[in-house]
Amino acid sequence: MPDGGQPARRQRYRPIDAMQAPRFTGIGTFMRLPNVTAMAGVDAAFIGIPFDTAVSYRIGGRFGPAAIREASRLLRPYNVEQGIEIFEHVSAVDAGDLSVIPGNVQASYGVMEEGLRSILDAGVVPLAMGGDHSITLGELRAIFKRHGPVGLIDFDSHTDTWDNYWGERYTHGTWCRRAIEEGLIDTARSVQLGIRGSLYGPEDRGGARALGLHLIPTETLLERGVDDVLPEVVERAGRGPVFVSFDIDFVDPGFAPGTGTPEVGGPTSRDALRLVRGLRGLDLVGFDLVEVQPQYDHGEVTSLLAGTLLHEFLTLVALDRRDRRKRG
């Protein structure tokens, strides 16, 4: 049995060495990291939150974490663009899935708060795999208890600030409004990128702005370009704790067809990767990647992109740990 556990030399968790056991072997965890739930000696933990019954259209995100794990077998430990050997600086594990309750969003929020608490209390950065976007509210409630209100960097083609769907107040299209109402997000340090698509009326976008959110719609983003937009995002997020949420429908459905509410005319996967890589130097306290629905995917294109984005998130954690150690 190939050992993906702790090498004695560094006492760090890292993926199974692909030169010892080929990447298509073994049981699927994120990047073939060890499946560990005790948080001692851990810096970053991937965790599946396969809750998907708070959606307004297609369903199937419950199978997102499994698909992302399978696609992530391909990912390698050195990040070329960021110039860092990730696992030299970060000890990472796959903590498995939370046992959410299908059809019961309130009870599932309790499961999420409890599940994330043990990760956060250990000073570990959670990297969650959804699930539909409603899970972000459960994560933010847990994050709030540890860090207080956070700046939110939200990649999404939707603002998710509707008040309710059919009277339901806790859905993947309302979580952001609820998070602001609950005081979980510092809107002055928050930004939503990639907003596009048809709406119910002009008040939809206005409503998000009235809540204090800063919107960078897809048209603006693509017109100005990644390099022009990035400094604005980083400056706005500022010095306090920041949570990054990535709804895969941010990316054009040509690059990410496996999702629930696709909006055409979006950024490419390359744009998305470059934007995430630019989030260096922030106090990043948590990440999620949501809305992957493998049933609508083709050739793993969506789940591979999702896995690669999570790989970039982990790289940001590694860069942060490296820089902190340098500073002493």
Positions touching Mn ion (CB under 5 A) are 133, 156, 158, 160, 247, 249
Burial of 261 (0-12, 13-18, 19+ CB in 10 A): buried
Which CB, 67 or 137, lies closer to Mn ion? Answer: 137
Identity of the residue, 39 or 301, whose beta carbon is nearer to Mn ion in the bound complex: 301
Pairing label, strands 78-79, 283-290: unpaired
Q: What does 11-57 look like in DSSP terms, one character per residue?
A: T---PPPTTTS-TT-S---GGG--B----TT-SEEEEEE----S-SS
In contact, 285 and 53? CB cutoff 8 Å: no
Phi-psi region of 150 (alpha: psi -120 to 50; beta: other; left: phi over 0): beta
Looking at beta carbons only, is 137 or 319 nearer to Mn ion? 137
94 vs 160 by CB, closer to Mn ion = 160
CB of 316 to Mn ion, least distance (A): 21
Residue closer to Mn ion, measured from CB, 124 or 256: 256
Cβ at position 177, least distance to Mn ion in Å = 12
Place of tokens 């989030």: 279
Residue 73 beta carbon to Mn ion: minimum distance, rounded to whole angstroms: 27
The pair of structure tokens assigned to 280 is 């260096």
CB of 175 to Mn ion, least distance (A): 8
CB of 249 to Mn ion, least distance (A): 4
